[in-house]
């Protein structure tokens, strides 16, 4: 018997806990207009809150909205077993119904409520148009609240976003024209620009969320266009540097094959070093290009181009020297230079000797 009493007490506690923690039920909740809203839109809400039986007298039912306070108009009627009295009107963003109005043990309670108001001028983003919740004596929420939000788009903010996107378009057009004047391929960027331009044009005649959608499309295409410009710019730098390196290699082969210069020739060594540095740096630039690191690729290509140009200038100097047919830097095992110097000294000594002898003959008659 004692065990039965304990079980009965436990069952009563459990039922009370379930009732206290149960969520409010709102049936036939309608918000008009549907979808996204804009500042100044008139909004109408209606629904029925199912309270049921045994509502705690110490608790209360609260309704709330973020619609513009001076425009808010509530109407409600508390029904017992689907019988409703005349409606009661109220204003303000909050509507409170005390528990003693809703507490009936043997009758089912429901509250029909309607709400009218206007989206405030300051609204933007998510706006609470309707909220219903049960609160206890400590103003803590009992169970789960009923919440209805909508997205509000501020017309002035949308206009500002369109203007900003038009500025982005103008900057992109300037970049495209500059790259085109520099001989860089802008075909891909121009395609993306056209798509962005069309999206912005559509945004001008759209409203609400459609504006945001078009602007997002425009921004995506602008980003793609800028990426395409960077890719084409770095590729041009790589191609130009490759041409410079190929020219250096061509002249280098002439020295080593046709002119039979040895790799150890001191005139060839700096050319070799700069050529190799250019080739290695350009290879790294090509890797960056393939990985989409276009700024790094272009910087390395420019650096490689500088080294290639230095190698080319040295190569031209060497070619002029070889074409002239005179050089004090011939390399026959390192012997010809000393021999040449000795020859010049001997010729000078011989000339002096001859000049003195000639004067002696002249004095003797």
Q: Is residue 363 part of a domain?
A: no
Q: Is 36 helix (H, G, I), strand (E, B) or coil?
A: coil
Of 180, 205, 236, the residue at which a domain comes to its end is: 236
pLDDT at 61: 96
Q: What is the DSSP string of 313-352?
A: HHHHHHHHHHHHT--S---STT-HHHHHHHHHHHHHHHHH
Identify whether residues 132 and 55 lie together within a single domain: yes
Residues 210, 140, single domain; the answer is no
In the chain, % helix, strand, coil (3-state, to 5) comes to 55, 20, 25
Quick one: 100 and 165 in the same domain?
no
Is 330 contained in some domain?
no
In 3D space, the residue among 88, 113, 86, 109 whose CA is nearest the CA of residue 99 turns out to be 109
Query: What is the total count of domains within the chain?
Result: 3
Torsion (CA) 124, 125, 126, 127 in degrees, nearest 10: 10
Give the C-alpha separation, 50 to 107, whole Å.
12
Q: What is the pLDDT of residue 100?
A: 94
Q: So what's the pLDDT on residue 179?
A: 95
The pTM of the whole model exceeds 0.75:
no
> CA nearest 60: which of 85, 83, 78?
78
Question: Is 200 inside a domain boundary?
Answer: yes
Dist. CA 310–CA 88, nearest whole Å? 92
Q: Is residue 271 part of a domain?
A: yes
| Shared-domain flag, residues 193 and 139 | no
**CATH number, domain containing residue 50:** 2.60.40
Co-location of 71 and 148 in the same domain: yes
Q: Verify that 32 and 148 share a domain, yes or no.
A: yes
Beta pairing class for 109-118 and 94-98: unpaired
CB-based contact 169:217 (threshold 8 Å): no
Q: Which of 236, 255, 282 is the last residue of a domain?
A: 236
Low-confidence ranges of the chain (pLDDT < 70): 1-23, 326-365
Q: What is the DSSP letter of 71?
A: G
Host H or E run for residue 126: strand 125-135
Q: Strand 37-38 to strand 141-153: parallel, antiparallel, or no bridges (unpaired)?
A: parallel
Would 351 be classed as within a structural domain?
A: no
226 with 243, same domain: the answer is no
In a domain, 98, yes or no: yes
The CA distances from residue 222 to 169, 176, 191, 193, 350, in Å, are 7, 11, 10, 6, 82
Task: Tell whether 110 and 186 lie within a shared domain.
Answer: no
Q: Which of 130, 152, 174 is the last residue of a domain?
A: 152
Tell me: do 142 and 170 sit in the same domain.
no
Dist. CA 303–CA 300, nearest whole Å: 5
The DSSP output letter for 295 is H
Q: What was the pLDDT predicted at 74?
A: 97
Examine the domain organization and report whether 194 and 105 are in the same domain: no
Tokens read off for 205? 């005649």
Q: Which domain holds residue 97?
A: 25-152
- pLDDT attached to residue 36: 87
Same-domain status, 101 and 185: no
Same domain, 176 and 245: no
- Asked if the structure places residue 96 within a domain, the reply is yes
Return the pLDDT at 356.
Answer: 54
Within-domain flag for 2: no
């Amino acid at each position: 018997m004692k065990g039965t009493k304990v079980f009965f007490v436990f069952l009563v506690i459990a039922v009370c806990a379930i009732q206290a923690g149960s969520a409010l039920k709102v049936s036939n909740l309608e918000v008009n207009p549907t979808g996204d809203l804009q500042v100044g839109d008139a909004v109408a809400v209606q629904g029925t809150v199912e309270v049921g039986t045994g509502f705690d007298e110490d608790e209360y039912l609260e309704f709330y909205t973020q619609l513009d306070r001076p425009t808010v108009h509530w109407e409600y009627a508390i029904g017992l077993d689907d019988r409703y009295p005349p409606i009661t009107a109220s204003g303000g963003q909050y509507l409170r119904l005390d528990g003693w109005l809703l507490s009936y043990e043997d009758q089912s309670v429901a509250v029909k409520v309607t709400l009218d108001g206007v989206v405030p001028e300051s609204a933007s983003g998510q706006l609470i148009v309707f909220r219903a919740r049960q609160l206890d004596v400590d103003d803590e929420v009992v169970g789960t609240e009923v919440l209805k939000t909508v997205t509000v788009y501020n017309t002035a903010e949308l206009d500002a976003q369109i203007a900003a996107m038009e500025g982005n378009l103008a900057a992109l057009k300037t970049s495209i024209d500059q790259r085109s004047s520099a001989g860089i391929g802008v075909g891909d960027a121009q395609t993306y620009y056209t798509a962005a331009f069309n999206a912005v044009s559509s945004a001008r005649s759209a409203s609400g969320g459609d504006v945001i959608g078009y602007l997002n499309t425009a921004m995506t295409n602008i980003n793609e266009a800028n990426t395409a410009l960077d890719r084409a710019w770095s590729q041009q730098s790589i191609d130009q540097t490759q041409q410079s390196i190929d020219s250096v290699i061509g002249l280098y082969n002439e020295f080593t094959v046709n002119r039979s210069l040895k790799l150890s020739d001191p005139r060839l060594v700096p050319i070799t070093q700069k050529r190799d540095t250019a080739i290695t740096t350009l290879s790294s630039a090509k890797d960056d290009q393939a990985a989409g690191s276009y700024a790094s690729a272009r910087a390395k290509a420019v650096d490689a181009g500088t080294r290639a140009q230095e190698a080319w200038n040295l190569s031209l100097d060497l070619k002029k020297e070889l074409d002239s047919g005179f050089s004090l830097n011939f390399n026959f095992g390192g012997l010809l230079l000393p021999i040449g110097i000795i020859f010049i000294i001997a010729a000078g000594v011989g000339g002096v000797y001859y000049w003195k002898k000639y004067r002696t003959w002249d004095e003797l008659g």
